[in-house]
């Protein structure tokens, strides 16, 4: 489907999506292993990561409800020029749980950077990962070369203006409120995450084939347990703290790239006042899942930023 140009994500809304056919039980039983030829897995500072390539280090941070695998289409091309490190967020995919606020997650990513001896890095994030990437640049400027924000800005007080009831025909980010609840989400979703990702995919993908059945099975399985559902909830339950943290952040002085799908028409407005060197790439042919719907565009934009 085509998203309304006003978009769900213009006020900092975040999500990811998966579509699928077939039942939940069959999907869980057939979940494949995420393996990307030419890349290797590792664990450091409590985080699971997948890495490959040589050159300047580029850290990729995924969103909800996805894993490092959301970058599998862009990683091979980027690894021809850079050392790519795609991480799993704390509590997902073998990464050790941490507090859900974006400053704490950015601290965990910084610990990984230090443990791997990477020095200053380029950091790029999508969705929740974009919030973390911004927080990384704000809290660890000496460790940041550039920062790329895909589709979702760091939370600020605009989130409090999201209406309870959306106008007819306009999608509504209901999951922001849903994930605030304690106890109910995991009761509804444990072992049934494919229903959630089916809905999100239909809502936020332009090209429904961009995230295939194998990808969907991987993502659904990653958020199928009580614990992983609670972890995802925590990223939204911490938004109030993120908003307070944002008030204390200074201006980002490293080059900052915003890549905006048609779901995020306000990203340029949100980023322009937060950095001294802000560049925007609009991708009106893509829904929210930029690395999977328009991987070539994302690779070109990141490469143009980093050099």
What pLDDT score does 20 carry? Answer: 33
Where helices occur in 84-181 by DSSP H, the ranges are 102-115, 128-139, 175-178
What pLDDT score does 101 carry? Answer: 97
d(CA 222, CA 206): 23
What separation in angstroms does the CA of 170 have from each of 9, 100, 195?
Answer: 12, 29, 21
What pLDDT score does 5 carry? Answer: 37
Burial class for 32, CB neighbours closer than 10 Å (0-12, 13-18, 19+): exposed
Which helix (H) or strand (E) is 24 found in, with range?
Answer: helix 24-29
What pLDDT score does 130 carry? Answer: 98
Burial class for 190, CB neighbours closer than 10 Å (0-12, 13-18, 19+): middle
65: preceding bond cis by omega (within 30 degrees): yes
Q: Which residues contact 284 (CB under 8 A, 6 or more apart)?
A: 261, 262
What pLDDT score does 26 carry? Answer: 37
> What residues does each domain of the chain span?
9-158+167-306
What separation in angstroms does the CA of 121 have from each of 115, 141, 142, 275?
Answer: 13, 10, 9, 18
Full pLDDT tens readout for the chain, 307 residues: 445 534 554 434 333 333 333 334 333 445 667 899 999 999 999 999 999 999 999 999 999 999 999 999 999 999 999 999 999 999 999 999 999 999 999 999 999 999 999 989 999 999 999 999 999 999 999 999 999 999 999 999 999 998 888 888 777 888 999 999 999 999 999 999 999 998 898 889 999 999 998 999 999 999 999 999 999 999 999 999 999 999 999 999 999 999 999 988 899 999 999 999 999 999 999 999 999 999 999 999 999 999 9
What pLDDT score does 172 carry? Answer: 82
Tokens encoding 284: 């009106």
Cβ atoms 65, 193 nearer than 8 A: yes
Q: β-strand 47-52 against 40-44: which pairing, if any? A: antiparallel
CATH number listed for the domain at residues 9-158+167-306: 3.40.50.1820
What pLDDT score does 7 carry? Answer: 52
């Amino acid at each position: 489907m085509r998203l309304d140009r006003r978009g769900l994500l213009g006020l900092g809304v975040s999500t990811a999506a998966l579509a699928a056919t077939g039942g939940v039980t069959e999907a869980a039983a057939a979940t494949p292993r995420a393996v990307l030829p030419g890349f290797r897995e590792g664990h450091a500072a409590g985080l699971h990561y997948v890495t490959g390539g040589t050159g300047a280090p580029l850290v990729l941070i995924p969103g909800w409800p996805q894993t490092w695998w959301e970058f599998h289409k862009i990683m091979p091309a980027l690894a021809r020029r850079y050392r790519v490190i795609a991480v799993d967020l704390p509590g997902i995919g073998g990464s050790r749980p941490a507090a859900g606020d974006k400053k704490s997650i950015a601290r965990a990513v910084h610990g990984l950077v230090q443990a791997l001896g990477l020095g200053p890095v380029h950091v790029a994030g999508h969705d929740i990962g974009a919030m973390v990437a911004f927080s990384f640049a704000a809290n660890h400027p000496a460790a940041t070369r550039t920062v790329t924000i895909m589709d979702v800005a760091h939370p600020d007080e605009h989130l409090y203006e999201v209406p309870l009831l959306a106008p007819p025909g306009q999608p509504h980010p209901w999951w922001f409120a849903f994930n605030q609840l304690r106890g109910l989400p995991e009761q509804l979703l444990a072992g049934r995450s494919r229903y959630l990702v089916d809905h999100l995919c239909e809502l936020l993908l332009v090209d429904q084939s961009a995230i295939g059945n194998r990808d969907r099975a991987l993502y659904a399985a990653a958020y199928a347990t009580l614990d992983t559902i609670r972890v995802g909830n925590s990223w939204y339950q911490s938004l109030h703290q993120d908003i307070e943290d944002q008030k204390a952040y200074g201006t980002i002085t490293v080059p900052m790239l915003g890549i905006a799908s048609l779901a995020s028409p306000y990203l340029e407005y949100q980023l322009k006042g937060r950095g001294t060197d802000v560049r925007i790439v609009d991708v009106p042919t893509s829904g929210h899942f930029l690395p999977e719907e328009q991987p070539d565009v994302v690779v070109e934009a990141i490469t143009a930023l980093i050099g």
